[in-house]
Amino acid sequence: MHSTVSDSLAHAGAWFLHSGIQEPNGGVARYYLSAEGRNLPVSTEITGYACSTYSYLYRLTGDAAYREAGIRAAAFLADEAWQPAIAAMPFEVGDPLPPAYFFDCGIIIRGLLTVYRMTGEARWLDRAREIGLFMGKAFRANGTCHPILSLPSLEPWPYEQRWSREPGCLQLKSAMAWDALATHFPADPFLEWYEEALSYALSTWESFLPGDPDPLKVMDRLHAHCYFLEGMQPRKHRPEVRATLAAAIDRTSDYLREISPRFERSDVCAQLLRARLYTGDVDRVLAADEAARCRAHQMFGDAPMDNGGFCFGRRDGQPMPFMNPVSTAFCLQALEQWRQFEAGEFPGDIAELI
């Protein structure tokens, strides 16, 4: 039996199918530039998120169109983006070969695993394992992971003082892919690698925020900090992890509400709400407020690209001109999970976390 979904989710799901954000080759664009009327190039990371989103929507609705879109996205990743000659996954497909990002690889694995669960086809699981081994063998270094590697050389990029260009607690969400793979491949060192990443994140997270004197840049860092909240979920039963989750959720919540009058990212609202629900310690007043914030970012219009998706955020109360697939995925899931929670139906399945 399929869940009764909200009008908001139905519109967001239709946006994923009909807006044009998924290109004919199955890949999904990073986002759509509303003012210019065009997509940015296809991103392997965003296509991984789309795999998880299409699979989630298929489970909720049973609509075969979501299943087909998820399979097309997975085929792009497994067959076109993957570089078998060097056993590596670039962040985009191009010539010369773009670099590889640790974070992107984990998101891609988790997306392929959702398509495997949806279809039962082993090829998605096998490719996910190959990418997981690439992550562990190429990126790991001295207890942490290099964020970016040049391809085909596998040389690490020099670190920069930007959250996406240096090691940090945010990488724990990507490391969740290792924890998921360990269930299927216990003989591989995936579980050891996840625990290593968890230990690093727990020892370094307190220095991540605010991380910048500019409040607008702190809002961007909140998005990355929420990845840490998500990455801890597989071990939330441990007392030290649970205590850290509570403190990190409160810190994120405080910064969001302090900065949001000037700049609010829709994905931060959704990520924070989902973290509350998955952790289980839910302040209903704050959660309801975060759900309302998510809803306020959904856009409706006549054109398919403008109808049902969620914009990136608001600056000084005005929507920013980016229709964003990740924002849409996170917000549609957060709002559906909030609906389920209020109805006493939230399953809390970490494998479904987009």
Q: Identify whether 149 is part of a domain.
A: yes
Alpha carbon 219 to its chain's center: 17
Domain containing 102: what range? Answer: 7-352
Q: Identify whether 167 is part of a domain.
A: yes
Two tokens at 143?
């207890």
Per residue in 297-317, pLDDT (tens digit) is 999 999 999 899 999 999 999
Q: Please, what's the b/e burial string for 72-82 (b: 16 or more CB within 10 A of its CB; e: otherwise)? A: bbbbbbbeebb
Per residue in 256-279, pLDDT (tens digit) is 999 999 999 999 999 999 999 999
Distance, CA of 310 to CA of 322 (rounded, Å):
9
Q: How many domains does the chain have?
A: 1
Distance, CA of 111 to CA of 97 (rounded, Å):
22
Distance, CA of 167 to CA of 287 (rounded, Å):
30
Tell me, what CATH number does 263's domain have? Answer: 1.50.10.10
Q: Identify whether 278 is part of a domain.
A: yes
Q: State residue 143's pLDDT score.
A: 86
Two tokens at 340?
């389920």
Q: Identify whether 1 is part of a domain.
A: no
Low-confidence winner among 159-173, 178-192, 216-230 (lowest mean pLDDT): 159-173
Q: Identify whether 2 is part of a domain.
A: no
* Cβ-Cβ contacts under 8 Å for 324 (sequence gap 6 or more): 31, 32, 266, 267, 309, 310, 311, 312
Q: Identify whether 145 is part of a domain.
A: yes
The answer to whether the beta carbons of residues 327 and 311 sit under 8 Å apart is yes
Distance, CA of 56 to CA of 352 (rounded, Å):
7
The answer to whether the beta carbons of residues 330 and 309 sit under 8 Å apart is no
